[in-house]
Amino acid sequence: MSTIVDKKKRSRLSADQARSLIFSSARHAFSRAGYDSVGVREIAASADIDPAMVSRLFGSKEALFAQIAEEAFSLEAPFDGPLDQIGSRITDHLLQPIIKDNEPEFDEFQFLLRSIGSPSAAPILSRALHNGFIVPLSRKLSTDAAEERAALATAYVIGFAVLRVALYEPSLVRPKSSSVASLLAQALQACLE
């Protein structure tokens, strides 16, 4: 009996409420399993919403994924502030403790890693990373080849994150000396100046 009541209550959701539930469900699913392993029906079931509502509100799985990617790769706070200290701020951000959660609500890094091999998702991820991260970072730079420098710094950040968080490289997980932080900060600073 409660299931009928719950479904009646759920059918009274506004479009904004339904959109929020679908978006949250999709973020979690794509972060956990990747683009190719997640379907609209799974996203809808997790949100307790009719699958047709996903298409009605987002257009397609690809469009929903693109919206999540755009939000996931927007320029982060460590990039704000004086340019001469940006390498240190990014390094401090990258060296924060790794929190291993079996079922995170959303993990931008896992979202990227689990979908990057998909022929459908890779171009979406590339556009979102370029438009939401590399271009805004390049606008903060007052150097020649700003976009290339921002892309190179982004490559350092992603490479470091892969080794530290995905592959759990012991020398990067818990650096025994400040030399790792110092070297990374210098390398990032050199890219951006």
**Stated pTM of the model:** 0.81
pLDDT of residue 2: 42
Q: CA 21, CA 16: separation in Å to the nearest integer?
A: 9
Model pLDDT for residues 13-23, shown as the tens digit of each residue: 888 999 999 99
Q: Please compute Rg for the chain using Cα positions.
A: 20
DSSP 22: H
What's the token pair of residue 128? 């979102």
Ordered per-residue pLDDT tens for the chain, 193 residues: 444 445 444 558 888 999 999 999 999 999 999 999 999 999 999 999 999 999 999 999 999 999 999 998 886 766 778 888 989 988 888 888 776 655 557 788 889 999 999 999 999 999 999 998 899 889 888 888 999 999 999 999 999 988 988 888 888 887 777 788 899 999 999 999 8
Same domain? 56 vs 88: no
Residues 31 and 122 both lie in one domain: no
The verdict on 78 and 147 lying in the same domain is yes
Q: Please give the angle made by the CA atoms of 43, 41 and 69, to the nearest 5 degrees.
A: 40
Whether residue 96 sits in one domain with residue 165: yes
Q: Could you give the CA distance from residue 103 to residue 19 in angstroms, rounded to a whole number?
A: 22
Residues 49 and 102 in one domain: no
Q: Which domain holds residue 104?
A: 73-192
Query: d(Cα 118, Cα 65) in Å, to the nearest integer?
Result: 12
Rounded CA-CA distance 16/184 in Å is 42
Considering the domain architecture, whether residues 132 and 99 belong to the same structural domain is answered as yes
Counting the structural domains of the chain, the total is 2
Kindly state whether residues 91 and 135 are assigned to the same domain: yes
Q: What pLDDT digit, counting tens, does each position of 104-123 carry?
A: 577 888 899 999 999 999 99
Distance from C-alpha of 67 to C-alpha of 60, rounded to nearest angstrom: 11
Same-domain pairing of 88 and 33: no
Answer yes or no: do 117 and 182 share one domain.
Answer: yes
pLDDT of residue 37: 96
Distances (CA, A) of 75 to 13, 54, 71, 133: 32, 27, 9, 5
Q: Are both 131 and 162 inside the same structural domain?
A: yes
Residues 83, 176: one domain? yes
Query: What CATH number has the domain bearing residue 37?
Result: 1.10.10.60
How far, in Å, CA of 187 to CA of 126, rounded? 23
Looking at the structure, tell me whether residues 92 and 49 fall in a common domain. no
In CATH, what number is assigned to the domain containing residue 163?
A: 1.10.357
Q: What is the pLDDT of residue 183?
A: 92
